[in-house]
Amino acid sequence: MNATNRNEQAALARAVLEIDVNNHPGVMSHVVGLFSRRTYNVEGILCLPVEDGTRSRIWLLLNEDQRLPQVIKQAEKLEDVIAVRRHHAEHAVFSQLEEFFRP
Amino acid sequence: MTETLTGAQITIRLLERQGIRNVAGIPGGAILPIYDALGQSTVIHHVLARHEQGAGFMAQGMARVSGQPAVCMASSGPGATNLLTAIADAKLDSIPLVAITGQVPRAMIGTDAFQEVDTYGLSIPITKHNFLVSSAEELLEVIPRAFRIAASGRPGPVLVDIPKDVQTQAIEVAKWPEPGTALPAVPAATEQIAAAAAMINAAQRPILYLGGGVVHSGAARLAVDLAEKANLPTVMTLMALGSMPVDHPLSLGMLGMHAARYTNLALDECDLLIAVGARFDDRATGKVAAFCSQAKIIHIDIDPAELDKIKTANLAIGADVGEALTQLLPAVAENAQKNWGDRVDALRAEFPLHMPEAANPRTHFGLIRAVAACLDDAAIIATDVGQHQMWVAQAYPLRRPRQWLTSGGLGTMGFGVPAAIGAALAEPQRTVVCFTGDGSIMMNIQELVTAAEENVNLKIVLMDNASLGLVHQQQTLFYGERLFASQFKVTPDFIKVAQGLGIAALDLDLAADPAAALQDAIARPGPCLIHASIDVEQKVYPMVPPGAANREMIGA
């Protein structure tokens, strides 16, 4: 894990990825493995099944750096990834969860 | 008609339906049901490797010469982990492979059962895709899909992990799925092709840069046609050698770390680089910022993630290179311009590749040329990894796509002998030569006995300098001549080893007429090891030092 303090965190640009995937054991490993093996820290993860449960949606909160476009392309190549959508850091999905992460 | 079949029988039937005729592997407890079914097959020949890594590379050899997915098998635990290196090698060189591994029964997964390892987890980063099959029913979907994924787009290895109870589970099969084949690629956009043609037509000093994708796409002929029509000097990556005959007037040979000086100097002057199925690997580009620094770049690749990965292209075309070149060929203008060709020829004359003593078969270059003199273009040339590999890449007159089998991306010592066995099994009508070194051959020497068992037409040319030659070279050049762990204090008697493992052997060192002895050994059918001592002080030259720009080459 990258050791960054609170101020450094705030200074970094953030990105939020919304990833539609097939729902089976191993999909999460495929997706987060793309990041970890590039020493790219994933700051936040959310995942729940959608519709009838054959698919899931993964939300990732990331620090934005120049490697992000390449990792997105790699994610799009995964067999179990159906779509990747990129959002700005202001997206509500993680900010609405903040109350569960108070010290 | 409905049949009752086990998961193991379904797996073998699906492989037969895929057209698989050779499978390399080693049985073990967790894959015995599949082996039991395989033993009943009348169409699939099983090659019993002596180490699972050997089985993986044999399958690679089959896939590399045919372009079709090939199959290797291993049991759970150590069987699966031993396969991993060959799978990783296939990933880096985009080789279509389907690896089938046995797994402990589902109920025992996660209990640290005997020979249990997380094959699925281990193989995620080194496969294009992988499966852990959870029912016999699922095999009907997974096996064809594994072949489809391996062969589609940018090819690659797919692993299918099958628990033992899934192999023994019997189900009713009423209908068989269609075999999995490559999906057609999305065609290149016509306006992008027009833009590429305009850039090529306007260029003063263009160079065509061919990568392994040209071989995978079956586009070598189209690439040569394009080069000839637009008068494009052409460089090839290690993986693309053979795409354009090396003695073609437009060929500048291999680029990069061990290119001829003129090749890298011409690239340094080009104003347009047309990259086709190439990925700007660091061994090809040297210091990236200084690679073709004056050039605009057209990059055509089937894998969108390769576009703009290392170098930002002025025009990036995500397409199958064969399809894109088919469109591009009529759109480029005939080019009779001579200035750039004359300049390249002047560089070639001033900075050629030096091959000292190429007429003496007791030298490294001389040996390679002497072997080439015994063969025609139908021969398959495999290598291991090290100095011998680079010398063969520099000196062997490769003229045909899929003639050349070498471990490029992963650079795996031990690749050569089993890959060559696989190639010989897939194309038994050809002579296969494997150049190897005394370091590399030891990493899969056990497969000599497999070569004997299969009686393959394989000639292994062992260039023996009693050292890890490239390590020796780097320590000499860049580590103050502090040679450490690169020289073998004890070396095997390779002649006795070969004979002990059941194959013929020839010691060229003892031959009065080495060229004649070589000719005789290569002409005789069956496997043979040809041993030749070479000088440990010989370097692979020229060389771009690590981190340097390609124009800063050292050595001859």
Q: Domain residues for B526?
A: 364-533
pLDDT > 90 fraction of chain B, expressed in percent and rounded? 99
Q: Cis link prior to B542 (omega < 30° from 0)? A: yes
State residue A1's pLDDT score: 40
Which of B281, B315, B288, B344 is closest to B200 using CA atoms? B315
- B124 in contact with chain A, both atoms CB, cutoff 8 A: yes
Residues B407 and B433 in one domain: yes
Q: What pLDDT score does B45 carry? A: 98
Q: Nearest CA to CA, how far is B112 from chain A (Å)? A: 19
Could you tell me if B44 and B52 are in contact, meaning their C-beta atoms sit under 8 angstroms apart?
Answer: no
**Does residue B357 sit within a domain?**
no
| DSSP letter (8 states) at residue B552 | -
DSSP B105-123: -GGGTTTT-TT---HHHHH
Let me know whether B379 and B513 are in one domain: yes
Using a pLDDT cut of 70, give the percent of chain B over it.
Answer: 100
B298 beta partners: B274, B315
- Digit-coded pLDDT (tens) for B238-272: 999 999 999 999 999 999 999 999 999 999 999 99
Q: Tokens 């029913």 sit at which residue?
A: B137
Using a CB-CB cut-off of 8 Å, the residues of chain A touching B304 are 73, 76-77
| pLDDT value at residue A11 | 53
Q: What is the pLDDT of residues B379-411, one digit of tens each?
A: 999 999 999 999 999 999 999 999 999 999 999
Q: Which CATH number belongs to the domain containing residue B288 in this structure?
A: 3.40.50.1220
Is A98's pLDDT higher than 90?
A: no
In a domain, B543, yes or no: no
- With bands split at pLDDT 50, 70 and 90, how would you rate the model's confidence at B237? very high
CB-based contact (8 Å) between B36 and chain A?
no
Do A73 and B132 make contact, defined as CB atoms within 8 angstroms?
Answer: no
Note the pLDDT of residue B80: 98
The CA-CA-CA angle for residues B156, A18, A44, to 5°, reads: 100
Indicate whether B549 belongs to any domain.
Answer: no
Average pLDDT of the residues of chain B: 97
- Provide the residue ranges of all domains of chain A, joining segments of one domain with +: 13-94
A26–B132 CB contact, under 8 Å = yes
- Note whether A76 contacts B304, CB cutoff 8 Å: yes
Average pLDDT over residues B85-109: 98
Check whether residue B105 and residue B132 sit in a common domain.
yes
Burial of B365 (0-12, 13-18, 19+ CB in 10 A): buried
Residue where one domain finishes, among candidates B109, B139, B173: B173
| B110: contact with A, CB 8 A cutoff | no
The C-alpha of B124 sits at a distance from chain A's nearest C-alpha, in angstroms, of 7
Answer yes or no: do B124 and A26 touch at CB < 8 A: yes
For residues B208 and B270, state if they share a domain: yes
> For B281-292, how does the pLDDT look when each residue is reduced to its tens digit (9 = 90+)?
999 999 999 999
CATH number of the structural domain spanning residue B24:
3.40.50.970
CB-based contact B102:B34 (threshold 8 Å)? yes
Provide the pLDDT for residue B241.
98
**Cross-strand pairs, B297:** B273
| pLDDT band at residue A13 under the 50/70/90 scheme | confident
Question: Is B129 within 8 Å of chain A by CB?
Answer: yes
Nearest residue in chain A measured CA to CA from B119: A26
Residue B371 and residue B265 in one domain: no
**Is B547 a member of any domain?**
no
Contact list in A for residue B119 (CB cut-off 8 A) is none
Based on the fold, state whether residues B380 and B283 are members of the same structural domain. no
Residues B259 and B286 in one domain: yes
**Same domain flag for B303 and B224:** yes
Cβ contact B7:B28 at 8 Å: no
Cβ–Cβ < 8 Å for B40, B65: no
Give pTM, 2 decimals: 0.96
**E-strand spans in A1-103?**
14-22, 42-50, 55-63, 81-88
CB contact under 8 A, A79 and B305: no
**Could you give the percent of chain A with pLDDT greater than 70?**
88
> DSSP states of B353-418 as a string?
PP-TTTT-TTSHHHHHHHHHHT--TTSEEEE-SSHHHHHHHHHS---STTSEE---SS--TT-HHH
pLDDT digits (tens, 9 = 90+) for B408-447: 999 999 999 999 999 999 999 999 999 999 999 999 999 9
> CB distance from B186 to chain A under 8 Å?
no
Contact with chain A for residue B132, Cβ under 8 A: yes
Q: What does the pLDDT read at residue A4?
A: 54
Calculate helix-pair angle for B364-373, B514-523, nearest 10 degrees: 50
Rounded CA-CA distance B197/B321 in Å is: 14
Q: Closest by alpha carbon to B295, among B320, B275, B318?
A: B275
Query: In total, how many domains does chain B have?
Result: 3
- The stretch B115-135 carries a mean pLDDT of 98
CA distance B316 to chain A (A): 14
**What mean pLDDT comes out for the span B227-247?**
98
Closest partner residue to B149 among A30, A73, A79, by Cβ? A79
- Do B246 and B348 meet the contact criterion of CB atoms below 8 Å apart? no
Residue B538 lies in a domain: no
Which tokens go with B375? 């063969």
Contact in structure between B206 and B227 (CB atoms under 8 Å): no
Q: How confident is the model at residue A95 (pLDDT cuts 50, 70, 90)?
A: confident
CA distances to B88, B142, B159, B164, B165 from B133, rounded to whole Å, are 21, 8, 10, 10, 10
Residues B158 and B222 grouped into a single domain:
no
Judged on CB neighbours under 10 Å (0-12, 13-18, 19+), B297 is buried
Distance from CA of B537 to the nearest CA of A (A): 39
Shortest distance, CA B308 to any CA of chain A (angstroms): 8
pLDDT at A6 (0 to 100)? 52
Are B63 and B91 contained in the same domain?
Answer: yes
**For residue B350, pLDDT beyond 80:** yes
Q: A77 at the B interface (CB within 8 A)?
A: yes
**DSSP symbols for B422-471:** HHHHH-TTS-EEEEEETTTGGGSTTHHHHHHHHT--EEEEEEE-SB-HHH
In a domain, B556, yes or no: no
Model confidence pLDDT, tens digit, residues B305-322: 999 999 999 999 999 999
The CATH number of A13-94 is 3.30.70.260
Contact state of B125 with A33 under an 8 Å Cβ cutoff: yes
Ranges B159-168, B187-196, B329-338: which has the least confidence = B329-338
Q: Out of A29, A70, A74, whose CB is closest to B124?
A: A29
B338 and B448 in a common domain: no
Does residue A65 belong to the interface with chain B, where contact is any CB pair within 8 Å?
no
* Shortest CA gap A30–chain B (Å): 7
Domain boundary among B350, B380, B409: B350
> Among the three residues B350, B380, B396, which one is the final residue of a domain in this structure?
B350
Residue B541 inside a domain? The answer is no
Residues B343 and B216 in one domain: yes
User: Is residue B41 a contact partner of residue B89, using CB atoms and an 8 Å limit?
Assistant: no
Q: Could you tell me if B530 and B498 are in contact, meaning their C-beta atoms sit under 8 angstroms apart?
A: no
